[in-house]
Structure 1
Amino acid sequence: MKKQLQKIDNPVSETSEQQISNAVGFPIAGIGASAGGLEALEQFFGNVPVNSGIAYVVIQHLDPNHAGIMPELLQRTTRMHVLQATDNLQVKPDHVYVIPPNKSMSVLNGHLYLFEPIELRGLRLPIDYFFRSLAADQHENGIGIILSGMGSDGSLGLKAIKEKNGIVAVQNPSTAKFDGMPNSAVNAVVVDILAPANELPAKLISLLKLSPTLVNKTGIDDKSKSNLEKIVILLRAQTGHDFSLYKKNTLFRRIERRMNVHQIEKISNYVRFLQENPTEIDILFKELLIGVTNFFRDAAVWENLREKVLPALFNEVPNGHVFRA
């Protein structure tokens, strides 16, 4: 008797969404800075309202041989409570946490944890290390911010935050005392907010206030679906890539992010915006590809494909039959 082919749900598209988020009920912003970072941090925190509802975690390249005075310096610029992070410290909104010298820091369930760095001093990437942890723990509640600094630390971590649908903000390189880190970030990932350090807080808070409207508990309405198809057509015409078979909710979430960045409330207006701004089509294309490239790095997906999906498919065809994917 012919074996029934077992229906296997798409393990590729579901894996990332099945991961459990430990997100707290408020955004956590990781702020990476290096050379010239103190000035940028002062400009940033000097413009953060005391009740923004965001927790801020500062990761700066610090001299391991000197006592950390960054909390005292930043406290002069803000009414929020600024403190040096300690092990197993619970993160609270409207607080600023500063990494101690000569430590790596991670976050789990909204608590900060300190580690002794194992890399040589010149090879350490503490900003990337924290950003990746923030993305894994907080998902869409994670925010990555890059300020003045040399090198490229933070760029890979921003990619991780983007993959979890978090927000990425970068100091405009032209306003940074050292533009290495901001330039690297801009070249590595689609940036949601690009502005001088003193303007980043207001733009960030404004973006957070824009709540998703395309996808709700009752699903996606027909008018929104029609406009989505128009966006798919525009993407295909300019990039040659067909997104028509992609998960609709995933597409809508990415599109909503771009709409919020431009403060566009109606998807029909965003369709018109795309028609008038071909550069935005390229940016949206890169934004949509973030989840796809993450899939190819998901070892669990490929293991499931090798162990379950392919054997089930091969068992259904006779020997010598050509199998086409």
Structure 2
Amino acid sequence: RQDRRRKQTPADQDFAAELVKYQQEIERLRDEASQSREQLQASNEELQSTNEELQSANEELTTSKEEMQSMNEELQTINTELQTKLDDLALAQSDMQNVLNSIEIAVLFLDQDLNVRRYTERATTIINLRENDIGRPLSDLTSSLQYPELQDDARHTLDTLAVSEKQIMTRDDRWFSVRIMPYRRLDNVIDGVVITLFDITDTKALESSLRQSPRA
């Protein structure tokens, strides 16, 4: 039998070599494409995971924003209520001050440290008081009263809750009934003392006149 296979020429060998080379290149490109697809898939999974985390964070942020808005609304409501109470308190204090001034009674309010808390205008005619004396100790004040133990009596009342009342003469020959009482708040807490000074000059003069008048 005659062998019909043609003997490979140099050109055939070069073609075969090129074909092998192209096949290897194609295989390499396939490997690279496969690796790229795997990397792309991994990146896509990471991106999806990141997107889910961002979505979760956004939901939490939205929830936090809603909670913060709710808290802010509650705070505004509380602030409004507090401001209303402060306005009511200021009005009540103003009303009390006007009432005290209208009754023409000298009153001095002291806190637990015996510092000036409040006073009526009438008190300024007996004790040297000015607006900037609020918060000053009683011991720093001067008055026309001949009453050097006033601070000690105020402290005693604060410590024992016992009411003190004395008739005191001033340097200009006036007489006052000085009463020291505990300052009791509405919640029954002792928060200082109240000193009231009643002018009894006319009463003392009448008593003196009666004593000096001849008996029938």
* TM-score calculated relative to the size of structure 2: 0.22
| Structure showing the higher helix proportion among its residues | 2
Larger Rg: 2
* TM-score calculated relative to the size of structure 1: 0.17
